[in-house]
Amino acid sequence: MTRILIAGYQHETNTFAPSLADWAAFNTGEAFPAFVRGQAMVDLLTGVNIPMGGFMDEARRLQWTLVPSAWAGASPSSYVTQDAFERISQAIMDDVRAALAQGLDGVYLDLHGAAVAEHADDSEGELIGRIRQLVGPHIPIVASLDLHANVTARMLRESDGLVAYRTYPHVDMAATGELAARLLQRRLQLGRKEPLHVQRLPFLISLNAQSTWMAPAQALYEQLIALDRELGAMLSFCMGFPASDFEECGPVIWAHGAQAKLAVERLYAQAVQAQQWRPQWQPAREAVAQALAWAAIEAAPVVLADTQDNPGAGGDSNTTGMLHALLQQRAGHLFPQQIALGLLFDPQAARKACEAGVGAQLEMSLGKAVPIFSGDLSDPPVQGRFTVRAVSPGACLLKGPMMTGSTIQMGPSACLEIEGIYVAVASGKMQMLDRELFRTVGIHPENMKVLVVKSSNHFRADFTPIASHVLVAKAPGPMAADPGDLPWKKLSPHTRTRP
């Protein structure tokens, strides 16, 4: 039987963000399941829409024997601490050594691709390199990557194959795990590495321009899939995570296969056209005014993305710019109990609400002023009288297209109402990518006039089907919508911060 060791390490690092990813962050079970090792990993991740789940399904079809190691994931934030990375690496290294003693035919890694550690800018390249030192040159290492990976020369050199998501929102995570298994099978059958070709785009791409639900990315990924079919390649395009301050941050196109060079060159010719990547945003007040105007004439909700406090990109989901804008424009008086915002991360407020119970009225502040990339602070907390409308222990089973089947631990959570506006407040950080996160605290998204979601693009998968309009708003927060606004120090001089 073919024996494949499987392991995972998931973190998207915004080096400009305020909070580090320490060992505790990998054990909270917020945006990802908590650190898990051995057979428990298989039991937890089977059937879940993440790459590991898809890889395991395809491996079983191929009748491989799986050797489970460790899987670790933490919410996007600033640097992974040295302690956390070394704990994760050590667990995987120990398991690789043990597997080698029993016989090993390959290694699969479920990686993000944009994880920066305090002591290793290219922490995924470092992890792959350590495994390569143990297994030698002949045992293949294949990894799946997030579409936002900042793919490095070392990651490509030390591995036998890399393949990335093809959708954003990432509804194809399990499917990408299946692709990784097929790429590994190709490598095992061939007995050597396939030809590889790589090209790097000369500019960063804003997250808000990367959605594969819209132009230009939609057409580019359709072309990618067509090129794969035509040329027999395994082609990937990572648009990059444009907030990781290290030399190799940026978009990369690569392919494995006999016609890899032709596949990459044809896709690159379309992707490199800079003008197509320039997105549109609105300041918070303008976006709220537009949303309220539409809400007056539309039956379906208007969805506003609070993109610069996206906890899926390094924000802490606790800024209040959008809530202030709603209050200033009396949104809750215009549409009482039909305006909702979430998730707002405020453990203290959530705990107070849960202790007070439904119906209680609390005088308190909500949210936090945090340092942002400009050197200023975000908006101040909202001070006022809040009514507790619902409380929850915070366990949420996701049912939307992303991470389907995953159980998220939001911690003690509540729906707080202020001046007719609902705020979904949680003790855990989680991007608003699934309507169930609102429902957990008694808010039914379909019944709202305006929904403010702390997300950049992932919300589109579950919210666009119920939305009359979607707007992206720029309220002050730690995740710059425009990469050109960030104070870069390490980025390659050959990479422009704007298209």
SS (H, E, C) 185-203: HHHHHHCCCCCEEEEECCE
**3-state SS, residue 65:** strand
Q: Under a CB-based contact definition with an 8 Å cutoff, are residues 431 and 312 in contact?
A: yes
Q: pLDDT tens-digit profile of 321-349?
A: 999 999 999 999 999 999 999 999 999 99
Pairing state of beta strands 421-426 and 413-418?
Answer: antiparallel
Pairing state of beta strands 302-306 and 450-453?
Answer: parallel
Q: Which residue has the tokens 């997105």?
A: 279
Exposed (0-12), middle (13-18) or buried (19+): which is 300, by Cβ within 10 Å?
A: middle
- Segment 118-145 shows an average pLDDT of 98
- One domain for residues 92 and 191: yes
- Segment 106-117 shows an average pLDDT of 98
- One domain for residues 129 and 154: yes
Reference 178, options 58, 92, 87; nearest CA is 58
**3-state SS, residue 80:** strand
Q: pLDDT tens-digit profile of 357-399?
A: 999 999 999 999 999 888 899 999 999 999 999 999 999 999 9
- One domain for residues 272 and 309: no
Largest CA distance in the chain: 68
Q: pLDDT tens-digit profile of 399-454?
A: 999 888 888 889 999 999 999 999 999 999 999 999 999 999 999 999 999 999 99
Q: pLDDT tens-digit profile of 303-317?
A: 999 999 999 898 999
Q: How confident is the model at residue 32 (pLDDT cuts 50, 70, 90)?
A: confident
**Is the peptide bond prior to 216 cis by the omega test (within 30 degrees of 0)?**
yes
Q: Quote helix, strand, coil % in the chain, to nearest 5.
A: 35, 25, 40
- Tally of domains within the chain: 2
Task: Note the pLDDT of residue 406.
Answer: 85
Q: How confident is the model at residue 483 (pLDDT cuts 50, 70, 90)?
A: very high
Last residue of a domain, one of 237, 262, 277: 277
- One domain for residues 287 and 268: no
Task: Note the pLDDT of residue 255.
Answer: 98
- One domain for residues 296 and 151: no
Q: pLDDT tens-digit profile of 227-267?
A: 999 999 999 999 999 999 999 999 999 999 999 999 999 99
User: Does the pLDDT at position 280 exceed 90?
Assistant: no
User: Does the pLDDT at position 354 exceed 90?
Assistant: yes
Q: What is the pTM of this model?
A: 0.91
Task: Note the pLDDT of residue 468.
Answer: 98
- One domain for residues 260 and 292: no
- One domain for residues 269 and 296: no
Task: Note the pLDDT of residue 247.
Answer: 98
**Token duo for residue 136:** 């030698």
- One domain for residues 262 and 368: no
**Token duo for residue 102:** 């029993």
Q: Name 234's bridge partners.
A: 256
d(CA 486, CA 499): 15
- One domain for residues 339 and 230: no
- One domain for residues 216 and 313: no
d(CA 152, CA 16): 20
Structural domain boundaries, residue 451: 282-480
Average pLDDT, the chain: 96
- One domain for residues 126 and 220: yes
